[in-house]
Amino acid sequence: DAAMSSRAAAEDLRAKMRAIADRLDARVEHYSKAAEEEYEQVSRLLMIVAGIGIVLGLAGGFLVGQFGIAKPMRALVGLLQQMAKGETVEMMGTGRGDEIGETATAFNQLLSKLQENFHSLIEGARTVAGASREMNQASIQVSTAAGQQSEASSAIAATVEEMTVSINHVGDRATEAHQ
């Protein structure tokens, strides 16, 4: 009887242990499903946040590219085209602390130096033109004087020729009279 009662107690203990094990399995399965669902929700949330981050990064990059780089470069091209037409220009954006601002400052310095050189070149051309006009006037005066001297020389030569003819004529008459 003791063995039977022991056996019954063991079966009862076994049934209770199985019930505890089943409840633990059910809890583990419940928490496992809950953890899986939470993992999927967090994964979805991370994917959404990553997607939004990528979209915002691309949009920010585009805006920086368009307004921080492309727009100033288009303005620079426009200024260079104006400069090519001979218009006076000055680059804006020199107060920026980035490469575009440094480029604008360097461009203005280059432009200033080019304008100084251009004005110096124009002044030199004016000086050369004035000297050329003076030389032209001097050459006209020399040409006029040379023409006058040529005429005077021709007149003297004609006079000398006439005198030579007269002297020869007088000499021929004197020779005839002496004979």
Per-10-residue mean pLDDT, the chain, length 179: 81 92 94 94 96 96 84 79 77 70 81 85 91 91 89 88 88 81
Query: Are residues 91 and 104 in contact, defined by beta-carbon separation less than 8 angstroms?
Result: yes
- Residue 144, burial from CB neighbour count under 10 angstroms (0-12, 13-18, 19+): exposed
Nearest-angstrom CA–CA distance, 150 and 140: 15
The confidence score (pLDDT) of residue 93 equals: 63
Measured in whole angstroms, the distance separating CA 45 from the mean position of its chain's CA atoms is 45
Q: Shortest CA distance to 76 belongs to which of 98, 119, 106? A: 106
Amino acid at 141: Q
SS3 of 1, please? coil
The confidence score (pLDDT) of residue 48 equals: 97
Nearest-angstrom CA–CA distance, 76 and 88: 14
